[in-house]
Amino acid sequence: MWGVIADGWSYAGWVVGASHIRKVDAGWPALGTRIHHSVGAWPVTIDDTTEVVRVDPGRMIELTARAWPTGEALVRLELEPQGPARTRMRMVEQARSGPARLLPKPVQDALLKPRNVEALSRLSDLALRRSGD
């Protein structure tokens, strides 16, 4: 799984809503590096960035995901090995600014859960595909 996360160009393949990767900073996913992405469906897209704010390679990454003017979120991905070919993945997302920040956390969680479940499913599929190459 970490191999997919560490490949910034794969971001649009598993992050629900990301439609295009314009650039990935050299050294991704090092602290402070960014993915320059577009969100939404053409022709109505927003160009913005996602930045690494904490990282423990292979175990955890925290990202500040931006899509202004809609807002900014803190996203944390945790990986826990469950054996030689299994990894347990946890994704937590919380709005930090913008309109969604006004919603209580339980409402944010309820709205984000289906999106994050789908993102983890896509991430798993990409990781399985890579392991079969």
CA 32 to chain centre: 15
Cβ–Cβ < 8 Å for 126, 4: yes
Q: How far apart are CA 7 and CA 80, in angstroms?
A: 19
Strands (E), 32-102: 34-41, 44-56, 60-67, 71-83, 86-97
Query: Which range scores top for mean pLDDT: 56-60, 69-73, 109-113?
Result: 56-60
Model pTM above 0.85: yes
Q: Is the pLDDT of residue 124 over 80?
A: yes
Q: Is the pLDDT of residue 133 over 80?
A: no
Beta bridge partners of 79: 89
